[in-house]
Amino acid sequence: MVGTEYLTYTLKNGIRLIHQWTDSPVSHLGIILNTGSRDETGPEHGIAHFIEHTVFKGTQKRRAFHILSRMEDVGGELNAYTTKEETTLYATFLAEYYDRAAELLSDILFNSIFPDKELTREKEVIAEEINSYKDSPSDLIFDEFEELVYDGHPIARNILGTFESVRSFTREDIFRFIANNYHTDQMVISSVGNISFKQLISVAEHYFGHTPEKPRPWQRQKFTGYQPHERTQQKDTFQVHCVTGNLAYDSSHPSRIVMVLLNNLLGGQGMNSRLNLALRERKGMAYNIESSYTAYSDTGLFSVYFGTEKENLEKALQIIFKEFQLLREKKLGTLQLVKAKKQLIGQLAISSENREDLMLTIGKSYLFYNKVDPLKTVFAKIEEITAAQLLEVSNEILDPGNMCRLIYY
């Protein structure tokens, strides 16, 4: 299929391919799987992330050193990450090494052997990662907030796992998780680089077309039963850390783009966001104040985070809730709405210039929606947002009485 900017193709086994051609000497190739930590059972907590670490530790024909050196020997990079819904392996390299990158990604995805010695060593590496994470309350609080919101559901659990769960994993556990969760119709090969689409299809068929077709036979368990509540935890910190938030729209909801604009207006990356101006610039109460909106496949989460002096906690919350109230009671003026749209459009345009991020973004979009909207289509959708829509979403999401709250004292 030929689109305005992207070319797509489906291998016979169901693995999909998406490509954007560029004339840059640097290219990017990734394989994105619709499998993450929410797909684990209780005893498997952390195994998706553990597999992401250990696929680099040996295949049927390569040892760990040879895997790491394969791209670095030609100046390239090999990387991976895990989220609650995805596992991604990807490489950045000079365009002449497309074949090398595709062969290596295929090898570690389909032929990793997970040697016991390497597994033992990597368990200690992840233990240190967990320790590092626990030393950072401003990071830890986000995961514990999701545990509060999604209490009892698999999506609640953090990605890293626990010391006990990670140290219990065996090769058999890994192969069982892969067999149960790695399905060809839930994989996308994403490419941004200087290669013809015909040549890329040939490369993809050669290295990814051999694996048998394996469609996914199950669907994820949807979260239900949300109950707003508050939790306070004692922490040995200089600041109080606080997250407050509410369920929001899933990734397919028609109001998702309105929520993106609302979040950006409230506490997005701009220093002129409403919360940053109200709490930091006018009151000097916080160094960091931000809001975030995460859209999962079947749920979503909006949250506001800040750190402040203990005596400022209640006043800071009052200021934040006042900003919520303003957005719930009064439509944005024409000039305010135009400025908010222009800011978001500009940020999206600038971020698209990072071609590694672009490769990951189009791959994820194609994985979940089976399409990618060109930037001009996204911009048009933003321009169509009305003040009435923002008011409606604000009233649905920004009700303090329907929010969870987690505080670290």
pLDDT at residue 2, rounded to an integer: 35
Note the pLDDT tens digit of each residue in 160-198. Answer: 999 999 999 999 999 999 999 999 999 999 999 999 999
Is 230-408 the same fold as 7-208? yes
Q: What is the mean pLDDT of residues 313-334?
A: 97
- CA-closest candidate to residue 40, choices 155, 164, 185, 166: 155
Domain segments of the chain as ranges? 7-208, 230-408
* H or E stretch covering 295: strand 289-295
Q: Is 184 helix (H, G, I), strand (E, B) or coil?
A: helix
User: pLDDT by residue (tens digit) across 130-140?
Assistant: 999 989 998 99
**pLDDT over 90 (residue 371):** yes
Count CB neighbours of 300 within 10 A. 20
pLDDT tier at 159 (50, 70, 90 boundaries)? very high
CATH code that applies to domain 7-208: 3.30.830.10
**8 Å CB contact between 366 and 185:** no
Residue 32: both structure tokens together: 């994105």
Alpha-carbon dihedral angle through residues 115, 116, 121, 127, given to the nearest 10 degrees: 110
pLDDT band at 236 (very low <50, low <70, confident <90, very high): confident
The helix (run of H) or strand (run of E) holding residue 163 is: helix 163-168
CA separation, residue 161 to residues 129, 153, 188 (Å): 10, 15, 26
Is residue 295 a contact partner of residue 247, using CB atoms and an 8 Å limit? no
- The CA distance from 392 to 395, in Å, is 5
Tell me which residue has tokens 């239900």. 224
Which residue has tokens 């305010």?
A: 336
The per-residue pLDDT for range 27-81, each reduced to its tens digit, is 999 999 999 999 999 999 999 999 999 999 999 999 999 999 999 999 999 999 9
Enter the tokens of residue 23. Answer: 């004339």
Q: Which of 14, 46, 156, 22 is nearest to 94 (CA)?
A: 22
Q: Quick check: 129 pLDDT over 90?
A: yes
Per residue in 247-269, pLDDT tens? 999 999 999 999 999 999 999 99
- Protein fold of 230-408: Cytochrome Bc1 Complex; Chain A, domain 1 (3.30.830)
pLDDT in tens, 79-119: 999 999 999 999 999 999 999 999 999 999 999 999 999 99
pLDDT digits (tens, 9 = 90+) for 12-35: 999 999 999 999 999 999 999 999
Average pLDDT score, the chain = 96
